[in-house]
Amino acid sequence: MRRLVEEFLRHWPGSWVDASDPKAPHEAGLLMLSIDKAATQLDWRPVWTFPEAVQHTAVWYHRRHVEQAKDMLEFSLAQIKAYTEAARRRGLAWAQAA
Protein backbone atom coordinates (compact mmCIF):
# COMPACT_ATOMS: atom_id res chain seq x y z
CA MET A 1 0.00 0.00 0.00
CA ARG A 2 2.74 2.43 0.94
CA ARG A 3 4.54 1.82 -2.35
CA LEU A 4 1.36 2.55 -4.32
CA VAL A 5 0.62 5.76 -2.44
CA GLU A 6 4.19 6.99 -2.73
CA GLU A 7 4.24 6.25 -6.46
CA PHE A 8 0.87 7.96 -6.95
CA LEU A 9 2.14 11.06 -5.14
CA ARG A 10 4.95 11.35 -7.69
CA HIS A 11 2.20 12.38 -10.14
CA TRP A 12 -0.24 14.15 -7.83
CA PRO A 13 0.38 16.97 -5.38
CA GLY A 14 -0.03 16.18 -1.73
CA SER A 15 1.34 14.08 1.04
CA TRP A 16 0.40 10.96 2.88
CA VAL A 17 0.09 10.33 6.56
CA ASP A 18 -0.44 6.73 7.57
CA ALA A 19 -3.49 6.93 9.84
CA SER A 20 -4.16 3.20 9.94
CA ASP A 21 -4.84 1.54 13.25
CA PRO A 22 -1.83 -0.65 14.11
CA LYS A 23 -4.13 -2.85 16.21
CA ALA A 24 -6.52 -3.53 13.34
CA PRO A 25 -6.22 -6.87 11.55
CA HIS A 26 -3.95 -6.60 8.54
CA GLU A 27 -5.52 -7.79 5.30
CA ALA A 28 -2.21 -8.81 3.73
CA GLY A 29 -2.31 -11.99 5.81
CA LEU A 30 -5.57 -12.88 4.07
CA LEU A 31 -4.73 -11.87 0.51
CA MET A 32 -3.01 -14.24 -1.84
CA LEU A 33 -2.89 -12.24 -5.06
CA SER A 34 -0.58 -13.40 -7.79
CA ILE A 35 -0.36 -13.13 -11.56
CA ASP A 36 1.08 -16.65 -11.79
CA LYS A 37 -2.20 -18.33 -12.81
CA ALA A 38 -2.88 -15.74 -15.51
CA ALA A 39 0.70 -16.09 -16.72
CA THR A 40 0.64 -19.89 -16.93
CA GLN A 41 -2.93 -20.50 -18.09
CA LEU A 42 -3.49 -17.45 -20.29
CA ASP A 43 0.09 -16.56 -21.19
CA TRP A 44 -0.69 -13.12 -19.79
CA ARG A 45 2.10 -10.66 -19.02
CA PRO A 46 1.93 -7.13 -17.64
CA VAL A 47 2.28 -4.47 -20.32
CA TRP A 48 3.17 -1.43 -18.26
CA THR A 49 5.57 -1.35 -15.37
CA PHE A 50 4.15 -0.57 -11.95
CA PRO A 51 5.27 3.11 -12.16
CA GLU A 52 3.81 3.45 -15.67
CA ALA A 53 0.47 1.97 -14.63
CA VAL A 54 0.25 4.26 -11.60
CA GLN A 55 1.16 7.29 -13.71
CA HIS A 56 -1.58 6.53 -16.27
CA THR A 57 -4.07 6.03 -13.43
CA ALA A 58 -3.09 9.32 -11.75
CA VAL A 59 -3.42 11.17 -15.06
CA TRP A 60 -6.90 9.68 -15.57
CA TYR A 61 -8.07 10.67 -12.08
CA HIS A 62 -6.60 14.15 -12.41
CA ARG A 63 -8.32 14.69 -15.75
CA ARG A 64 -11.64 13.38 -14.42
CA HIS A 65 -11.73 14.88 -10.94
CA VAL A 66 -9.54 17.99 -11.08
CA GLU A 67 -9.89 19.16 -14.65
CA GLN A 68 -13.45 17.79 -14.79
CA ALA A 69 -12.91 16.98 -18.44
CA LYS A 70 -15.98 16.22 -20.51
CA ASP A 71 -14.15 13.96 -22.97
CA MET A 72 -13.47 11.08 -20.58
CA LEU A 73 -14.73 8.44 -23.00
CA GLU A 74 -12.34 9.69 -25.67
CA PHE A 75 -9.51 10.01 -23.15
CA SER A 76 -10.13 6.52 -21.74
CA LEU A 77 -10.19 5.02 -25.23
CA ALA A 78 -6.89 6.78 -25.99
CA GLN A 79 -5.35 5.22 -22.87
CA ILE A 80 -6.64 1.79 -23.91
CA LYS A 81 -5.13 2.32 -27.34
CA ALA A 82 -1.78 3.31 -25.78
CA TYR A 83 -1.89 0.17 -23.61
CA THR A 84 -2.68 -2.02 -26.62
CA GLU A 85 0.09 -0.43 -28.68
CA ALA A 86 2.57 -1.02 -25.85
CA ALA A 87 1.47 -4.67 -25.76
CA ARG A 88 1.88 -4.95 -29.52
CA ARG A 89 5.42 -3.52 -29.29
CA ARG A 90 6.21 -6.14 -26.63
CA GLY A 91 4.97 -8.84 -28.99
CA LEU A 92 2.09 -10.01 -26.83
CA ALA A 93 -0.12 -12.33 -28.86
CA TRP A 94 -3.47 -10.85 -27.81
CA ALA A 95 -2.43 -7.41 -29.09
CA GLN A 96 -1.19 -8.56 -32.49
CA ALA A 97 -4.70 -9.01 -33.88
CA ALA A 98 -6.02 -5.75 -32.35
pLDDT tens per residue, range 69-93:
999 999 999 999 999 999 999 998 8
Helices 72-89 and 50-61, interaxial angle, to 10°?
A: 170
Q: How far apart are CA 22 and CA 77, in angstroms?
A: 41
Q: How far apart are CA 25 and CA 19, in angstroms?
A: 14
45 by Cβ neighbours in 10 Å (0-12 / 13-18 / 19+) ranks as: middle
pTM of the shown model: 0.77
